[in-house]
Structure 1
Amino acid sequence: MTWLVPCFHVLLLFGEPTISLQGNRIVDLSHDFSEKTLYWPTAQTFTLQEDFKGTTDKGFHYEANTFKAAEHGGTHLDAPNHFAAGRWSSEQIPLDRLIGAAVVIDVRDKCAENRDYQVQTSDFEAWEKKNGRLPKGVIVLLHTGMGKHWPDAERYLGTAERGPQAVPKLHFPGLHPQAAEWLVTHRSIHAIGLDTPSIDYGQSTLFESHQILFKANIPAFENVANLDQLPAKGASVIALPMKIKGGSGGPLRIIALLP
């Protein structure tokens, strides 16, 4: 979903660079939260309980609901403390790590051939050969193409089963630990996201890429939507999670601004 912002001027002064909304096209990178939202097979899914909907005894319309869900499902944040003790929890992540220039690493062809593909250092090097070195403080988005299957659990996760027995049946792309180490050691990124349920690929049991990135206080965005609408470079991203004190993640509203 996209919107064209009319000609008014808003500046977000969260560090460099300053982002202007004037004349930008806005792309929503978030999936809706509903009964169809996909979660890890062992996690509590999203429920919306109606508390009241209708006309009150005083004659005005009123609606209110209670929602319940695990932190990690749908389009969401992984805070560094999710896999690294003593690192930032959800509310501790500085805003300038969640807002900034974004690049898209397109690995759709490789993931179409192998749904267990792990993004390699060579994929980043190929991007840099065409576009220049990854900028300092950039938000990296991995475009695997899996987002087109949302919310079909069988096609997106690799299985529609629920429960612990489903976890070994998960098949989707992710980031190779060696590439995660390369990003931490040789580049200086602020955050990373992708259009799959996890930064590590579906068959991972040690979640090494999570561990490597989160020890370096690099947060992650998972189940990101509409990456096919973003260019390889030139977009800016605003990723604002629910501010849960002590949280290891939470629902995320993430948008991109296109010039």
Structure 2
Amino acid sequence: MCPPGCLHSICAQATRRGVLRSGFALGAAMALPSASLAAPVPAAEHRFSTVHDLTHTLFEGFPTFSGERWFTVEKPVTWDKDKVNLHRWTLMEHTGTHMDAPLHFSQDGLSVDLIPIADLVVPLAVIDIRERAAANPDTSLTPDDIARWEARYGRLPDGCCVAMNSGWHALLDEPRFTGRDADGRNHTPGFHIEAADFLLRERDVKGIAVDTLSLDTGLASSGAFPVHYAWLGSGRWGVEAIAGLDDLPASGAMLVVAGPKVRGGTGGPSRVLALV
């Protein structure tokens, strides 16, 4: 148990220094003889000055591909009646800005609570396809987009998350966000299966993220879900309905995916942050 003020003090120091370290050596180091401390292992660090919230506010009626309501709020305890506020939420796991765990599209993949926490704090590469998506909502992020990004910024960092910025996060309150047509088909950008296969075979990538409702394009999400099956089936994670990518650099930020820790969960609404 941390004494009163302990956590506040640590956070204040971290904020002032603007340093996020990948590992900590606390009690164990104190217990070791001084000789064993002669050759410390350097900890990787990332300096940042700004924290960006990449999370849409969740609300009743948050868009879904089918149009069904996946999040509702009841107020069984109220201030007027009980002098306490307490809400009951009913939700599907995959609503709002949320994480897809490997279990979502595999028989026995990791559930959301079993994903190693170190795999959820990773370098972020943002690939911008906004101009093409504005002209064609059925476009996708392709291997050519990855090649162009790497030609400018260098090879994708090991252990990173690759995020597609299609500009869709800005359409949340418009019908185009789901892209549902009169025949029930959805027209939204996503990852092309060839891009997912390239990242699986040729790069060390922990996760992929999209500012739409699906890792796949809307049309591919009509039942085939090739990217979902390939990517999540490989043991990796995804983030859907991410927001605020316009404000981030293409390279150099760190992503923090604060997913829910629910036993057996296939995913869930998450607070997603970028450190720049």
Regarding TM over 0.5, the answer is yes
Structure 2 partner of 1:223: 241
The count of aligned residue pairs is 243
State the secondary structure of the residue aligned to 1:7. Answer: helix
- For residue 205 of structure 2, the aligned residue among 189, 204, 207 is 189
State the secondary structure of the residue aligned to 1:233. Answer: coil
Q: Deviations over 1:193-236 (max 9, x none)?
A: 01000000001131111111112211000000011011001111
Return the offset for 1:18.
3.3
Structure with bigger gyration radius = 2
Asked whether the equivalents of residues 173 and 202 of structure 1 are also in contact (C-alpha less than 8 Å), the reply is yes
Structure 1 partner of 2:32: none
> Higher strand fraction: Structure 1 or Structure 2?
1
Question: What amino acid is aligned across from residue 147 of structure 2 in structure 1?
Answer: E
State the secondary structure of the residue aligned to 2:270. Answer: strand
1:37 and 2:59 aligned: no
Structure 2 partner of 1:53: 78
1:156 and 2:177 aligned: yes
Q: Which runs of 5+ in 2 are unaligned?
A: 1-13, 25-42
Asked whether the equivalents of residues 122 and 160 of structure 2 are also in contact (C-alpha less than 8 Å), the reply is yes
Identical aligned pairs, as a percentage? 31
1:244 and 2:253 aligned: no
> Higher helix fraction: Structure 1 or Structure 2?
2
Matches within 5 A, 1:111-122: 111-122=133-144
Measured in 1, the distance between the counterparts of 2:17 and 2:119 equals 26
Measured in 2, the distance between the counterparts of 1:96 and 1:252 equals 16
Asked whether the equivalents of residues 44 and 70 of structure 1 are also in contact (C-alpha less than 8 Å), the reply is no
Measured in 1, the distance between the counterparts of 2:106 and 2:96 equals 22
Return the offset for 1:36.
3.6
Q: Deviations over 1:163-218 (max 9, x none)?
A: xx73xx21100111111000000001011101000000001131111111112211
Q: 1:43 to 1:18 in 2, by over 3 A?
A: farther
Q: Which runs of 5+ in 1 are unaligned?
A: none
Return the offset for 1:151.
2.9
Structure 1 partner of 2:39: none
Q: 1:62 to 1:41 in 2, by over 3 A?
A: same
Structure 1 partner of 2:16: 7
Structure 2 partner of 1:102: 124
Asked whether the equivalents of residues 50 and 66 of structure 1 are also in contact (C-alpha less than 8 Å), the reply is yes
Question: What amino acid is aligned across from residue 16 of structure 2 in structure 1?
Answer: C
Asked whether the equivalents of residues 55 and 242 of structure 2 are also in contact (C-alpha less than 8 Å), the reply is yes
Return the offset for 1:143.
0.4
